[in-house]
A and B are shown apart, each in its own frame.
Chain A
Amino acid sequence: MENLGIDLKLLIAQAINFALFFWVFKRFLAKPFGKFIQEEKKNEAEGERIAQELIKKEEELKAKKETLQKETKRKTDEAIAEAKKAAEVVKKEIIEQANIEAQQIKEKAKKQAQEMEMSLLQKAQEKAVELSFFIIDKALKDILTPDLRKEITQMILKNSGKKQVDV
């Protein structure tokens, strides 16, 4: 062995040294490190699983969102259609009411015009009567001579006598 350049003692010492090193390595480094790696692998797998789950959930949510959007759109369209229908009904009612009111206003105006016409006619007739009697009064005052006035006075007195006037 010596001829081969191998020192047995040194070899044994190195073997013991290696064994010690191996034992220390295994005991204090390889085990926690392996554990750490296993933990990391596990975490990674868990992360992967969670990521997959999240992707799946995201897809589900996306699908749900689309469904909801479709549903919302359908409901919105329905609501708009209903609102349009209601607005149409209200519009119709408003137009009908406006027509009724317009008719009422028209009738009222017609009535007022008729009343005004009647009133004006009556006023005109009253004025005509007033004027006629004013003319008669004036004419009688101007035309009647004292003799005629006397005659009329006597006629009135005679006629009144027949009626038996009481003072």
Chain B
Amino acid sequence: MKLKPRIKEDIKKFLIQKEKEEKQKAKLISSQKLTQEEWNEIFELFPDLKEKKIENVVDENLIAGVVIRKGSKIVDLSLRTRLKEFKKIAYEIY
């Protein structure tokens, strides 16, 4: 199927805009609501987050720690993931 050049251009613009918007956004999932002290520690650890619009979601299943999602990148610092990693090691041992 051949697209008209104008539609092609519109899609390209829309995707670039979307990418820009996504770059400005970040999602932080924590096991409980974070204190200012914890936020500061996170910003200290990830300085580029200061410039982003952060959406904070509380998920008790994490047990402890945080998960940061920025675009397609994910930094998982949760106790649940640590446990899962430990579980993988246990499987490998057996």
Residues of A within 8 A of B (CB): 122, 125-126, 129-130, 132-133, 136-137, 140-141, 144, 146, 148-150, 152-154, 156-158, 160-161, 165, 167
Contact = CB atoms under 8 A, between A and B. Distances in A.
Given A137-B63, A153-B30, A167-B70, A160 B45 contact: yes
A149 B41 contact: no
B80 A137 contact: yes
- In terms of DSSP, what is the predominant structure of the interface of chain A? helix
B7 interface: no
A165 B79 contact: no
Contact of A153 (B64, B73, B83, B90): B64
A167 B49 contact: yes
B38 A160 contact: no
A117 B78 CA distance: 37
Interface residues of B, number: 33
Contacts of B3: none
Given A122-B94, A129-B91, 13 more contacts: A133-B87, A141-B61, A141-B63, A149-B63, A152-B63, A153-B30, A156-B66, A156-B82, A157-B38, A157-B41, A157-B42, A157-B45, A165-B46
Contacts of A158: 41
A150 B60 contact: no
B75 A154 contact: no
B59 to A, nearest CB: 12
Nearest to B84: A133
A123 to B, nearest CB: 10
Contacts of A141: 60-61, 63
19 contacts: A129-B91, A132-B90, A133-B83, A137-B63, A141-B63, A148-B64, A149-B63, A152-B63, A153-B30, A153-B64, A156-B64, A156-B77, A157-B38, A158-B41, A160-B77, A161-B41, A161-B44, A165-B45, A167-B73
Contacts of A146: 32
Nearest to B73: A167
Contact of B87 (A125, A129, A153, A161): A129
A152 B64 CA distance: 6
A157 B77 CA distance: 7
B46 A140 contact: no
